[in-house]
Structures are given as structure tokens and as C-alpha cells.
């Protein structure tokens, strides 16, 4: 039995390039959001894309994983700021999500930069979204401790 299941739905109208869709999430925490091919490969213009949504999911999941890792080590963070960049590239003539770059800046009293980097690496290994992407997407983490 799953610990949790979350839902999302897209209604798409028209062809790939000229069409568009509306994305809704089951929690109703946001949305509905417009989603288009142009937002995915050109300019977002206020619309979203699968890559943006994956980046958002990864940033949120990783922030939770790092907070947990630091707390387990006895150094809970006062603040973590995580940004994620999901890259869509052409590989052998097909589109593929190739890279997820996570950048975290943190305020963690009593921790050194090297300890923060070690915790950041450990958290990435335990992050459920990282683990869903692992072996298919190059995940890069850059961690900076702020004083």
C-alpha cells in the first residue's frame, strides 16, 4: 500500500505545436495552469512545461531531504533555498531530459562548508525524486553555506 498518492490531470486540445492544455492538480493547491509545446521549447510566456514541474518537484523534495538529513545530524537548518534547473536536450534525434542541476544555499548554525556539502550529497542520495530520476538523468548538486 503506498504511503501517498497524488494526482494531476491535463486536458489537451489541438496538435502538439499549435495546441495547448490545462493542468490541474488534485490538491487544488495551485492552478489551473496552461501548458504548451512553446512553453517547453521556446519561451514560457506565463505557461508551464513538464520540465518546469519536474524541477519544482525536485527542488521541493530535495529541500525536505536536506532538512531531514541536517536535523538527523544534530544541525537543523534555519533556512534552505533550493533552485533546480531541468534541461531538455536532443539526444540521438529524440528529446530527453538530460540534466537536473540543484543549487542549495543554506543557513545552518554550527556547520562548516565541507560538512554542509557532505550533507547535501547524502540528502541527494535519499531524495525520492532524485531516486526516481537516477540512472537516467545527470543530477548535479552545488551547495553553499551562508553565514
Domains and CATH numbers, the chain: 8-41 (no CATH), 50-146 (3.30.300.20)
Q: What CA–CA distance (Å, rounded) separates 87 from 100? A: 6
pLDDT of residue 27: 93
Q: pTM for this one?
A: 0.93
The answer to whether 77 and 66 have CB atoms below 8 angstroms apart is yes
Beta-carbon contacts of residue 40 (< 8 Å; ≥ 6 apart)? 49, 50, 51, 88
pLDDT of residue 16: 94
99: which strand partners? 87, 138
E strand or H helix that includes residue 82? strand 79-91
Task: Report how far apart, in Å, the C-alpha atoms of 5 and of each of 2, 11, 25, 104 are.
Answer: 7, 20, 12, 27
| Cell numbers that stand for 122 in this block | 547524502
Query: What does pLDDT average to in each consecutive run of 10 residues of the chain (147 residues)?
Result: 92 95 94 93 92 97 98 97 97 96 97 97 98 97 95
Closest CA to 76 of 58, 87, 64, 62: 64
Amino acid at each position: 500500500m503506498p504511503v501517498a498518492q497524488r494526482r494531476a490531470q491535463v486536458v489537451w486540445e489541438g496538435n502538439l505545436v499549435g495546441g495547448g492544455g490545462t493542468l490541474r492538480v488534485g490538491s487544488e493547491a495551485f492552478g489551473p495552469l496552461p501548458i504548451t509545446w512553446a512553453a517547453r521549447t521556446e519561451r514560457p510566456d506565463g505557461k508551464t512545461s513538464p520540465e518546469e514541474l519536474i524541477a519544482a518537484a525536485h527542488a521541493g523534495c530535495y529541500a525536505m531531504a536536506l532538512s531531514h538529513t541536517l536535523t538527523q545530524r544534530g544541525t537543523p537548518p534555519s533556512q534552505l533555498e533550493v533552485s533546480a534547473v531541468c534541461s531538455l536536450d536532443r539526444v540521438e534525434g529524440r528529446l530527453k531530459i538530460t540534466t537536473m542541476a540543484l543549487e542549495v544555499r543554506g543557513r545552518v548554525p554550527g556547520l562548516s562548508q565541507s560538512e554542509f556539502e557532505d550533507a547535501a550529497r547524502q540528502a541527494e542520495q535519499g531524495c525520492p525524486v532524485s531516486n526516481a530520476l537516477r540512472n537516467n538523468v545527470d543530477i548535479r548538486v552545488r551547495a553553499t553555506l551562508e553565514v
